[in-house]
Amino acid sequence: MKQVLVSGGTATLAEVPAPLVEPSTMLVQMDHSCISIGTEMSGVKSSGIPIWKRALQQPEHVRKVVDMLLSDGLSQTRRVVQERLALELPTGYSGAGIVLEVGTGVDSFAPGDRVACAGSQCAFHAEVVRIPKNLVIRIPDGVGFDEASSVALGAIALQGVRRASPTLGETFVVIGLGILGQLTVQILRANGCRVIAVDLDRERISMAVNHGAHWGVHPDDGNDVTQVARLTDGAGADGVIVTAASPSDAIVSTAFRMCRKKARVVLVGDVGLDLQRADFYTKELDFLISTSYGPGRYDAHYEDDGLDYPLGYVRWTENRNMAEYLRLLADGTISIKSMISAVHPIDEVGDAYRRLRSGQDKPLMALLSYPREHDHRSNRVTLSPRIQKLSRAALRIAVIGAGSFAKGMHLPNLIELESHFRLRAIVSRTGHNAASVGKRFGADYCATDYREVLDDKEVDAVVIATRHDTHASIALEALQAGKHVLLEKPLALEESDLATIEAFFSEGSGPKPVLLTGFNRRFSPYAQRIADLMGKRSNPAIMNYRMNAGYIPLDHWVHSSEGGGRNRGEACHIYDLFTFFVKARVTKINASAIVPKSGYYSASDNFVTVVSFEDGSVATLTYTALGSNEFSKETMDVFVDGMVISLDDYRHLSVVGLKQEPLKTRSADKGQKEELVAFARAIKGETEWPIPLWQQLQATRISFEVDRLLKPLAG
């Protein structure tokens, strides 16, 4: 399908795979989508700013890069920066079309429904979009797709007015008469308010007056604050709604000075906010911020999970604001037809954006239109692979899940290891990401459905780097399809899923594909050195591992059912290391956690685990989010046979009690590249499995038992 992507200061039309429907979402075939003249064009321009100029504008990002250089080294920092610069970003946030397909949990819509949709994270300029149900509303009879495609803008304007709490007969000023300002004027008039419209463009002032503003004010006709005072009999406005977009601090200052005592100012637009106390203190003004479409915006539970706010407690959510805006269009209270300045077919998007950016056109609102017929089930898009000399022995590999870790670590390593791998395909749940990453790393094709690569006979192996809750099911399907699997940790989040994988390898006869859980730390040169030293021991060992994991907000996906928590999602790395070092079965597991006195921390990421093994060794993991990020993240001391082996953040390894040169690297080396090499060699039959299946299962089951022990404390 076709989708608009932004990169390097331009908007281009790209061919990307169509999205798949998911629970609580629906697929919508776009008929029209609305170009945001302000927000989108600003994004297009900023994408073309050279990196040195961006650094001058955002010095805090320079600090982050310097910190990354010091902690991760030049190579990894370069990877991250290049990945950010190469991004092709989707654009668009408001549109209308026809429902093609609905997911589970969607009961109030059906294929064929005419709907409007919103959301910068989903309502893209694309032929087919996947929209969560709370960001979709049915279009009333009599309202066309073109008008309804402005639904996000209408909801934003409506929410701005709601924040102002206007009452019948009050006088309000609207500063900035772009599309948001024009809609705000009409909504205020519908509320029974007198409206003063202010802008630098006389044509826009005239349009506002034609749509219900009582007066228009242009600064060239005299001091605008004085003009407002005159029109309000010297009292000042009851309120001001700022819908302008400008870096100037003078706009808010002007808004304050236009007000009467105890009035309110609502900020809807994007303006400078260097506030002057004298402008608002003596009048005791209320300064309010209006957040986009209304309550629910930026709440993942509302927008992504489809959980609504009860009407009795939250009267106007973003969805209900969208519905009310369309009702106002349907009954003629708001008129928008005359504000649609241009409609561009999607195939002409490049020319449309060039005209908008050059200033050749200054429309209030521009739309994109789409062809009515489109095969949204076409899921694979062939790309132009990068030119590279490929070894005949190279394994054809597909990457399922193209998030930040895959883009920053696995994919660059796969490209460097071209004697072992050829990148066959990229799969991502969003088509634009699949296409962008596929082009950047030279994949043969991209898709949004991972079953495409499982059905592809030319794929030998897959790397699975999706959200944790999908790991086991996708891995099992891949193994059943005969694909070798490198599965990012964790192997599974539930015992039942782990059991199905174990059963796959225990049932039947004949060779089975290689399964490698991404416990990469054991492949690092540091872990290999420790394992070599411990392999010569004559006594059990005591291992103390400390993970200064750092704080992650409790509403982050890692803590959710998708992530499984930090014990199952990350501490499993260390349980694997313990198993790797002693190569023995577990006999006993103990775990305890602190009970935080505030809701900021969680017991589930501040705990101590003690694992006893059959050979008599004892290992302790201290895992905490309480520490400082200025301290090493991972340290370990091993006490064995008169030696103390000390590991510091996979940068330094020393041994006391044995003459041996310390091992040092400038940046942390956690074995990711070595893991891929071991995977390739095992597939080719050059070595045994990199991690025996029983060890992968044991590390995972330790995490399950620790979770069980911590559950009463975690609440």
Look at residue 111 and tell me whether its pLDDT is greater than 80: yes
What mean pLDDT comes out for the span 469-484? 97
Task: State the pLDDT at residue 28.
Answer: 97
Q: For residue 661, what pLDDT band results from cuts at 50, 70 and 90?
A: confident
CATH (domain of 48): 3.90.180.10
What mean pLDDT comes out for the span 359-382? 78
Lowest mean pLDDT among 162-171, 250-259, 493-502, 550-559: 550-559
Residue 282 falls within a domain, yes or no?
yes
Residue 382 falls within a domain, yes or no?
no
Tell whether the torsion through CA atoms of 417, 420, 425 and 428 is positive or negative: negative
User: Does one domain contain both 598 and 705?
Assistant: yes
CATH (domain of 279): 3.40.50.720
The total domain count for the chain is 4
Per cent of the chain over pLDDT 70 is 90
User: Does one domain contain both 139 and 167?
Assistant: no
Domain final position from 477, 496, 517: 517
What mean pLDDT comes out for the span 521-534? 96
User: Does one domain contain both 587 and 671?
Assistant: yes
Task: State the pLDDT at residue 377.
Answer: 66
Closest CA to 6 of 420, 352, 336, 285: 352
Residue 527 falls within a domain, yes or no?
yes
Residue 463 falls within a domain, yes or no?
yes
**Contact assessment for residue 369 and residue 32, using Cβ atoms and an 8 Å cutoff:** yes
What mean pLDDT comes out for the span 411-422? 95
What mean pLDDT comes out for the span 46-72? 57
pTM (global) more than 0.85: yes
User: Does one domain contain both 6 and 139?
Assistant: yes
| Domain membership of residue 576 as a residue range | 520-714
Look at residue 47 and tell me whether its pLDDT is greater than 90: no
Tokens encoding 290: 């209006």
User: Does one domain contain both 706 and 580?
Assistant: yes
The per-residue pLDDT for range 563-600, each reduced to its tens digit, is 999 999 999 999 999 999 999 999 999 999 998 888 89
User: Does one domain contain both 405 and 510?
Assistant: yes
Residue 689 falls within a domain, yes or no?
yes
Task: State the pLDDT at residue 598.
Answer: 85
Q: For residue 74, what pLDDT band results from cuts at 50, 70 and 90?
A: low
Task: State the pLDDT at residue 66.
Answer: 62
Task: State the pLDDT at residue 52.
Answer: 45
How many Cα neighbours within 13 Å face the side chain of 505?
16
The per-residue DSSP string of 192-215 comes to: T-EEEEE-S-HHHHHHHHHTT-SE
User: Does one domain contain both 437 and 317?
Assistant: no
Strand 380-382 relative to strand 340-345, pairing: unpaired
> Across all residues in the chain, what is the average pLDDT?
91
Task: State the pLDDT at residue 50.
Answer: 54
Strand, coil or helix: 523: helix
CA 599, 601, 607 angle in degrees (round to 5)?
Answer: 135
User: Does one domain contain both 414 and 505?
Assistant: yes
How far apart are the C-alpha atoms of 399 and 404, rounded to whole Å?
A: 13
Task: State the pLDDT at residue 134.
Answer: 97
Task: State the pLDDT at residue 373.
Answer: 73
User: Does one domain contain both 263 and 233?
Assistant: yes
Q: For residue 619, what pLDDT band results from cuts at 50, 70 and 90?
A: very high
Task: State the pLDDT at residue 144.
Answer: 96
